[in-house]
């Protein structure tokens, strides 16, 4: 029924939108259908990239700590992690005709670093050209969430990083940025994720299955 072929799927959205949960569900559903699939994340995904993740997601914005990374230092660390991830995990898996599901990718850099922190977009584009080459997601699932649902989910998290502790205004602005990025793009699917049920899980699998059907 389904064809084993390279497919790069990315989940995007603000903290508490359920993207990590839904990416795991899709991974499980594809495995059930005997589709060779890997589940990964950004920042991270490889041992070296995970070391960088620990550095950049550590909460260095504590009130008693004056020293912070400059926004360009912060961005370069994210891009360094991405380089390791793409080179050593994503591209090799796609070459083996596997499905790659990634929790966050380049749109998060645009939403948080470019729109959020006002990092120069051309600066990132030049580095991405070297890191990514022609690599682009085949499908991007952007999960849109209400403030009430995201707050509830974040409050239940046992371990938090600095991005889980920002004010609601930050998440509202970030979600608007994600929606702006996704607007009028054919391979983007903007899905409401506020409700806690399995309808979304089924819809995501249905969309993915269309890409995997034998032609």
What is the 8-class DSSP label of residue 112?
A: I
Mean pLDDT, consecutive 10-residue stretches, the chain (215 aa), reads 90 91 96 96 95 79 64 94 98 97 97 93 97 96 85 65 68 90 94 87 95 74
Strand, helix or coil at 43? Answer: coil
Q: How many other CB atoms are found less than 10 A from the CB of residue 163?
A: 17
Q: How many other CB atoms are found less than 10 A from the CB of residue 121?
A: 14
For 15, phi and psi rounded to 5 degrees?
-60, 135
Structure tokens at 209: 């299955």
**The pLDDT of residue 215:** 46
CATH numbers and ranges of domains, the chain? 7-212 (3.40.50.300)
């Amino acid at each position: 029924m389904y064809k084993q072929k390279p497919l790069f799927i990315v989940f995007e959205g603000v903290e508490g939108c359920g993207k990590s949960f839904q990416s795991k569900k899709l991974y499980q559903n594809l495995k059930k259908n005997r589709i060779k699939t890997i589940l990964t994340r950004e920042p991270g995904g490889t041992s070296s990239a995970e070391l960088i993740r620990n550095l950049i997601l550590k909460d260095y914005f504590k009130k008693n700590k004056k020293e912070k990374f400059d926004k360009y230092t912060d961005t370069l660390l994210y891009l360094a992690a991405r380089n390791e991830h793409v080179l050593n995990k994503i591209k090799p898996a796609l070459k083996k005709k596997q499905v790659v599901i990634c929790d966050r990718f380049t749109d998060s850099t645009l939403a948080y670093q470019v729109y959020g922190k006002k990092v120069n977009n051309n600066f990132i584009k030049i580095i991405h050209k070297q890191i990514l080459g022609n690599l682009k997601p085949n499908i991007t699932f952007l999960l849109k969430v209400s403030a009430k649902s995201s707050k509830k989910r974040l409050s239940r998290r046992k371990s938090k990083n600095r991005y889980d502790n920002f004010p609601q205004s930050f998440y509202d602005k970030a979600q608007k940025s994600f929606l702006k990025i996704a607007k009028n793009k054919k391979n983007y699917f903007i899905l409401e994720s506020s409700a806690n049920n399995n309808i979304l899980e089924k819809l995501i699998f249905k969309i993915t299955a269309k890409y995997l059907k034998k032609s």
